Chains A and B, each alone.
Chain A
Amino acid sequence: MSEAAAAKKPDEPIDLKPVYEILDRLAGQKGMLIPILQQVQDAYGYVPEEAANAVADGTGSYRSQVYGVLTFYTQFHLSPRGRHIIRACAGTACHVKGGAQVIHRMENELGVKHGGTTADLIFSFEEVACIGACGLAPVIMIDHDAFGNLDPNTAETVLKKFRKKALAEIEAEGSEGEKNDGGEDASGE
């Protein structure tokens, strides 16, 4: 049932303190299940199984209810994701302006398809229905920044530039003597 369990190293217990903090703040109000799960995902970068169970217990919901919500909405992820999220727009305007070719090239460059995460955990790639910047089609977003008026070649350039920057950041973190275990800290920047 759980991809999270499969993706997690078995000897690594999840620190549930952030979940309890979120529950303390929100669990008392009605209709807060989705905002709670959104904040849990912000804290971990994904929703670990133990955290989902803690949310179920803390909100008085059945686990099946929580799992039902997590699997219904595309925003939720049950396994760790990359440090940076690339969203390629597959909206109508992007489609008629050659977005499919842009997506194809991105998949080739990253070596992953929609919903996948690169082995080095730097990038997760997903197609989204519409970013709402149709006037600039085709568009991709990397984290919170949008890049517009792309073609496969310029998309590749954007990606390569960004990857270089990301690798430099990781290196800088590593040289600061921080323990770097391959981006498993899942910082939800």
Chain B
Amino acid sequence: MASDTGGQRIYIGMGTCGLATGAEGVLTAVHEGFDKLKIEVPIIKTGCIGMCSQEVLLDVDTPGRGRVTYRKVEPKMVEEILQNHVVGGHPISEMAFGQIIGEGDSAYDGIPSYQDLPVYKKQKRIVLRRCGFIDPDLIEDYIETDGYQGLEKAIKTMSPEQVRETVKASGLRGRGGGGFPAGLKWEFCANAHGDQKYLVCNADEGDPGAFMDRSVLEGDPHAVLEGMIIAGYAIGASYGYIYCRAEYPLAIKRLLTAIALAEEKGYLGDNILGSGFSFGLRVKEGAGAFVCGEETALMASIEGRRGMPRSRPPFPAVKGLWGKPSNINNVETYACVPPIILKGAESYAAVGTEGTKGTKVFALTGKIINTGLIEVVAGTTLREIIHEIGGGIEEGRAFKAAQLGGPSGGCLPAKLAETAIDYDSLIQAGAMMGSGGVVVMDETDCMVDVARYFLKFTAAESCGKCVPCRLGTKVMLGILERITEGKGTEEDIANLKDLGENIKSTSLCGLGQTAPNPVLSTLRYFEEEYHAHIKDGKCPAKVCTALITYKITDNCTGCTVCAKKCPVEAISGERKELHTIDQERCTKCNMCYEVCRFDAVAKE
């Protein structure tokens, strides 16, 4: 294939983030460049490597040399990269992000090694080790990187009980957020009586601000399949479902491809690897309901019903899908299993903290410089994640808080930046691990508005089955809306706390039991911001529109753009003269602020 380029390979990140930033155009430009330069190099389309802020990413890998990653690649840069690097052997260091130096590779000068980059130095990649490095649509790529060896070891050399014991000894806890020991869960299901048992993978990643599972499914789908097949063997389940969000079309496509290839190779289906163990898998597409991330609702949805949770016990391990014993884990939990089996429980348990073993994948987003996907050893502090891996806050602003665990979680203020990120420390701090979303906020974010945002989400997503959640979230939302509109009263704060505690203790499922967390945790750490809204009628972060006024400052050049764009004709002024806003008419739609190119519109 690669006739005159000596075994080189080009990698292009084609995950959702890559595609959204124009990876398709870059791919086209590469093909055009090939035609022009009369070369032909194999192109590997990879999943997400986790550096969303640097997309589109294009790597050039030359045998015996470092694999160089080019960042923020646009079609117009491609020809130069091909000409200089692929043909000429000279990477363009100004465009490069870093290089990966494999064993026996000689490094290029002037390009930092990944190991020396702050964004990578603190990471340890177990779950994400293949994401961005292999072609997810090629089972050969997976097998070449130890793929399906854990499965082979399990079914050829271990009894189901030994597999369960290994997972128990590894200390792996459910990565969906609950943190229940995975091996123990497997044991409950294995010991339950039933002729038929089911395995379910929860890929209904509904938390806004989280995309860990999507990236694993898009970047390394076989890892999830392998983990599930091993779990099926350990539990005695012959059939499994992957329940995936319909909003993840690319993940679903890659899963279906992976399942077909695994069946072809005999890793999935009847009599796997000649062992006599059979296991079938099917993908079920969700239909848009956040509550289906709750295990009993998810099973109802697989059965084709409304996704309503039911009370537990009986737990799914005893009575689950179609009334049969079922085991449910999330994507990341299953992806942790193959390396645990292959390398042993001790190697996994060697990293992490007392109560949280191994690594955790986080989606790092918000007002942070290096947005993307990271994987760190449990116990890494929030400060390390934000300031070292994340590169700090955009535009040099001050870090205020990080929201962890989405609608079920809470926020950690800057003063708790030394908190170790593990299940127990986070619960103590009033947040929770959740599935892994970390939304970073700075001084321009209003904590009351963030609390209102989450309640709006949970109130809308409440399934309506139990009163505390259905009505409670609505009432809390109403109070928060009043506060952000400047109509709050002093009693509101006591009422929010009271309602929050009651909703937590009386709701039917995890959605309601955790829905008040964002409010309670902002009240715990930022109560003064609530008071500022209620007592002073001010939004310190200048977010809540009802509490700010728009003014035009002396920076105004009189360009008239804001006056033309104002939907209510509230802005007047002569050309080249200072404009003014009629406060009576102004609807605070933010348009003038958005369109002004001279930074002349101020919020007060």
Contact = CB atoms under 8 A, between A and B. Distances in A.
A132 B219 CA distance: 14
Q: Quick one: which of A129, A137, A145, A146 has the most chain B CB within 10 A?
A: A129
Interface string B290-317: 1000000000011111110000000000
B567 interface: yes
A133 B20 contact: yes
B545 to A, nearest CB: 9
Contact of B304 (A32, A91, A96, A148): A32
Contacts of A65: 305
B210 A34 contact: no
A183 interface: no
A38 B589 contact: no
A33 B364 CA distance: 37
Contact of A136 (B52, B304, B453, B591): B52
A132 B206 CA distance: 9
A90 B373 CA distance: 20
B306 A72 contact: yes
Overall SS of chain B's interface: mixed
Interface in A89-125: 90-93, 95-97, 101, 104-105, 108
Contacts of A35: 284-285
A101 B590 contact: yes
Interface stretch (A8-16, A73-81, A159-167, A172-180): A73-81
A130 B207 contact: yes
A92 to B, nearest CB: 3
Nearest to A95: B453
Given A69-B305, A129-B206, A148-B20, A135 B287 contact: no
A47 to B, nearest CB: 11
A132 B17 CA distance: 9
B17 A101 contact: no
B441 A96 contact: yes
Contacts of B211: 130, 132-135
B532 interface: no
Contacts of B290: 129
B590 A74 contact: no
A39 B207 CA distance: 26
Contacts of A68: 305-306
A74 B463 CA distance: 12
Given A34-B301, A136-B20, A91 B249 contact: no
B53 interface: yes
Contacts of B117: none
A73 B53 contact: no
A72 B590 contact: no
Contacts of A97: 366-367
A28 interface: no
A148 to B, nearest CB: 5
B288 interface: yes
Contacts of A73: 286-289, 307
A49 B171 CA distance: 51
Contact of B453 (A31, A33, A34, A92): A92
Contacts of B158: none
A55 to B, nearest CB: 11
B210 to A, nearest CB: 7
A23 interface: no
A147 B450 CA distance: 24
Interface in B302-353: 302-307, 322
A72 B502 CA distance: 26
Given A73-B307, A96-B367, A153 B209 contact: no
Nearest to B15: A133
B441 A30 contact: no
B249 A144 contact: yes
Given A92-B437, A133-B17, A75 B288 contact: yes
Contact of B365 (A33, A38, A93): A93
A92 B286 CA distance: 21
Contacts of B133: none
A131 to B, nearest CB: 6
A72 B403 CA distance: 29
A77 B590 CA distance: 32
A93 B406 CA distance: 10
B586 to A, nearest CB: 15
B445 interface: yes
A146 B406 CA distance: 22
Contact of B445 (A96, A134, A148): A96
B472 interface: no
B594 A96 contact: no
Contacts of A137: 365-366, 371
Contacts of A72: 289, 306-307, 463
Nearest to A149: B21
B366 A93 contact: yes
A43 interface: no
Contacts of B302: 31
Given A92-B403, A136-B20, A34 B304 contact: yes
Contacts of B19: 145-146
Contacts of B304: 30-34, 69
Contacts of A148: 17, 20-21
Nearest to A73: B287
A9 B305 CA distance: 31
A19 interface: no
A149 B450 CA distance: 20
Given A38-B287, A147-B20, A130 B52 contact: no
B21 A132 contact: no
Contacts of A151: 594
A108 to B, nearest CB: 7
B299 to A, nearest CB: 10
Interface in A42-78: 65, 68-69, 72-76
B194 to A, nearest CB: 17
B93 interface: no
A108 B210 contact: no
Contacts of A105: 591, 594
Interface in A136-157: 136-137, 139, 144-149, 151-153
A134 B247 CA distance: 14
B538 interface: no
Given A75-B287, A101-B594, A132 B247 contact: yes
Contacts of A104: 589-590
Contact of A76 (B287, B589, B595): B287
Contacts of A92: 208-209, 365-366, 403, 406, 437, 439, 450, 453-454
Interface of A: 30-35, 37-38, 65, 68-69, 72-76, 90-93, 95-97, 101, 104-105, 108, 128-137, 139, 144-149, 151-153
Given A33-B304, A93-B208, A93-B371, 10 more contacts: A30-B303, A72-B306, A73-B289, A92-B439, A101-B590, A130-B208, A132-B211, A132-B214, A135-B53, A139-B20
13 contacts: A34-B284, A69-B287, A69-B305, A75-B288, A92-B454, A93-B439, A101-B594, A105-B594, A132-B248, A136-B17, A137-B371, A146-B20, A151-B594
The 7 closest A-B pairs by CB, nearest first: A135-B52, A92-B209, A33-B304, A91-B208, A146-B20, A73-B287, A74-B288
